[in-house]
Amino acid sequence: MATENSSVQVLGIDAGGTMTDTFFVRADGRFVVGKAQSNPADESLAIYNSSVDALAHWGRKVDDVYPELVTCVYSGTAMLNRVLGRKGLDVGLMVNRGFEQVHSMGRALQSYLGYALEDRIHLNTHKYDAPLVPISRTRGVAERTDVQGKIVIPLREDEVRTMTKELVDAGSKAIVICFLQSHKNGTSEQRARDIVKEELKKLGVEIPVFASVDYYPSRKESHRMNTTILEAYGAEPSRATLKLVSDRFKKHGARFDLRVMATHGGTISWKAKELARTIVSGPIGGVIGSKMLGEALGDENIACSDIGGTSFDVALITKGNFAIKSDPDMARLVLSLPLVAMDSVGAGAGSFVRIDPYSKSIKLGPDSAGYRVGTCWPDSGLDTVSVSDCHVVLGYLNPNNFLGGAIKLDVQRARDHIKAQVADPLGLSVEDAAAGVIELLDLTLSEYLRANISARGYNPIEFVCFSYGGAGPVHTYGYTEGIGFKDVVVPAWAAGFSAFGCACADFEYRYDKSVDLGVPQLAPDAEKIAACKTLQSAWETLATKVIEEFVINGFKPEDVLLIPGYKMQYMGQLNDLEIISPVSNASTAADWHKIIEAFENMYGRVYANSARSPELGYSVTGAIMRGTVPTQKPVLPEDKDEGPVPPADARIGTRPFYRHKKWVDAVIWKMESLKAGNHIVGPAIIESDATTFVVPNGFETRVDKHRLFHLIETKK
């Protein structure tokens, strides 16, 4: 592809467990996607290789392009994998005396998190993971603050000094302090933090100290403790990984400051104080990208579906907004982080395929081949069949063009393994066994997607489905067939869609603080004014923290747009709603009425107007402050309609394709050569270097001006 005189401005990165995707955007809105195998030992190298792959399409070199970049956003799974593998920092924990076992015990629900429903009912499957901090590095000090924030037992400062030395002697490389009710009154925790720092200085030891009230001043002790521990355990080592990535960029002339996708849907600097907010970021990028696309297409209700090598991630955008979970779970830990609401199932293109020895049925995953693809790659070192092996055998994938030909796949090797491990035990032909695996995966994903929509009280006919991820376009037809979506959309850049979404995200910091306010419906104005004062005080505290983060990144306080918010529920209810505040400053009874009105409008949208219960009174459970600064973002392409007939040079040839117990010749098209307005009827396979879009019999697709493929079911 010939390059034009347009500088490259934006780079999005999605460093997944299987592939590392890069997404480059020029000033004219043109973009290109790169793909390379992930490298857990050195993520920066995989990013570099993926960049080389992408820029080759424009005839550009990394050393020429990196200095041009204005914005770069990273997302990845390194921190999550570090926590899952229990390979984090040796952390010391200081708690209230008598509560030394709290972290080890965990919440009861942590015993079944991550298990399928059928596994949960068998107690013998319950697995209690090793705590992030063992008892040997946990110490209790005398202190007690009651639920109103009153100190009833003052902090025994001499004990803090003694415990600090004991934790250092026990091998602690960081110290976390978490006391009961510190979100109501952080005095004891902050004093303990200062004493610990003094003692460490006396001991000549330089290790970080984390007080939960400085990071996550939220109610729910277990959640707050886990999150602060995570900050020390997983985030600090991840900072070193991000520094390697940043240094490699600088080595090739980059001048930008690396940003990282955060759990709340914005991006933060890799130097940010609260880096635990980036524990899971890749799938979130796809949701942000879907929101931007939805706005461009005029679609408010979107089912986001992302298939990678390991998992299938689903999120819903309703009325133009995605939901935020306040108390998510991650790595079998309950946390206190704002997280874009997503559901995942451990089934992807790399999922291993096995026969259950008792039921003789096919089982998929949850473990995956990851970057090693499957037995079809001779250098993988694998001998267990993966879903990708089935793709190759059935003609879905071009064995000579995987990752643009960088990896050559061996069809016969995949056939041999499928025959021995799946086909022969089930008494099936290799083709029928492989097709059965694909149909099972598609059915699993379809039911999961349908359930996610209907469980929230929606009808799929109200939704557009966006399908992306490296393996998304291969399976789109299979898991959307018969659901009845208003439209099914596959972006031409589906393989790098999460990276694209990262590049679309705002540079945004968000801080939360628990607030306990209860105001009756008919409360006097004085009570409403007092509630406004409490909420405003929390906003001001959080605003200071937000601005501090931007100042670290070289911005002035006046550059930051502050957006206050709050969490509210009717008194006595269990679940709150997150609301963007209609007022920037809360001080009067009129302001309180506006706050109430915004909540009631949101409540009516989420549930129903008839479900409103103002007679119960109103409870504010949390204050939120977001701060953003403008950044360069991708621009969607606007191509001229070239008519329904594809250009002759877009047709590559044909390839045998197996479905519904018969082989058919599918027409092969080159994705990059198709034009806006082109119409393709199945059976067809649309190939790019980074992904493959399968359009079987009974389906057709058209390309719109934004290079989005719309998949349509036809009556046969």
Q: How far apart are CA 577 and CA 618, in angstroms?
A: 12
pLDDT in tens, 679-689: 999 799 999 87
Say what the pTM is. 0.82
Q: How far apart are CA 465 and CA 306, in angstroms?
A: 11
Task: State yes or no: pLDDT of 716 exceeds 80.
Answer: no
Mean pLDDT in the chain?
A: 88
623 touches 538 (CB < 8 A): yes
Q: How far apart are CA 110 and CA 128, in angstroms?
A: 8
Averaged over 407-412, what is the pLDDT?
88
Confidence of residue 404 (pLDDT cuts 50, 70, 90): low
Backbone angles phi, psi at 63, to 5 degrees: -65, -25
Residue 405, sorted as left (phi over 0), alpha (psi -120 to 50) or beta, turns out to be left
Q: Residue with structure tokens 């704002």?
A: 338
Confidence of residue 2 (pLDDT cuts 50, 70, 90): very low
Amino acid at 340: V
Tokens of 144: 């007690």
Confidence of residue 220 (pLDDT cuts 50, 70, 90): confident
Q: Which residues contact 678 (CB under 8 A, 6 or more apart)?
A: 642, 643, 644, 645, 646, 650, 702, 703
Higher per-residue pLDDT: 18 or 570: 570
Confidence of residue 623 (pLDDT cuts 50, 70, 90): very high
**What's 407's DSSP letter?**
B
pLDDT in tens, 484-514: 999 999 999 888 888 888 888 888 899 998 8
**Burial state string for 31-47 with b = 16 or more CB within 10 A and e = fewer than 16:** bbbbbbbbbeeebbbbb
Task: State yes or no: pLDDT of 30 exceeds 80.
Answer: no
Does the bond joining 683 to the residue before it have cis omega, within 30 degrees of 0?
yes
Q: Residue with structure tokens 């973002």?
A: 633
327 burial via Cβ count (<10 Å: 0-12, 13-18, 19+): middle
Q: Alpha-carbon dihedral of residues 430, 432, 436, 438, nearest 10 degrees?
A: 70
Element (H, E) at 701: strand 699-703
Q: How far apart are CA 369 and CA 349, in angstroms?
A: 9
